[in-house]
Amino acid sequence: MERIDDEIRERFKQASHDGRITCAQALDLAKELGIPTKSVAHMLTEMDLKIINCQLGCFP
């Protein structure tokens, strides 16, 4: 897995609230930053951010 650079960390941190980020926000931000969607869950786990309001129902 590729290393998460500081800009990406900061952008996801800014988009999150109380250590949580919605699925839609995470996917939109990944698209904006050119991050493959398959990498998002791993990166958020590494950053200790939880996905909420998952559009697929995978993360309650």
Going by the DSSP 8-state scheme, the letter that residue 17 receives in this structure is B
Q: Which two tokens stand for residue 31?
A: 């698209």
> What integer pLDDT is reported at residue 15 of this predicted model?
94
16 alpha-carbon distance from chain centroid: 9
CA distances to 11, 12 from 30, in Å = 10, 9
pTM, two decimal places: 0.79
Asked whether 7 and 29 are in contact (CB, 8 A), the reply is no
Question: Considering the domain boundaries, does residue 39 fall inside one?
Answer: yes
Q: How many structural domains comprise the chain? A: 1
> What integer pLDDT is reported at residue 1 of this predicted model?
44
Domain boundaries, position 26: 6-52
Question: Considering the domain boundaries, does residue 45 fall inside one?
Answer: yes
Asked whether 36 and 4 are in contact (CB, 8 A), the reply is no
pLDDT (mean) for 42-57: 84
Question: Considering the domain boundaries, does residue 30 fall inside one?
Answer: yes
pLDDT tens, 6-47? 888 899 999 999 999 999 999 999 999 998 888 888 889 889
* Reported confidence tier of residue 58, pLDDT bands at 50, 70, 90: low
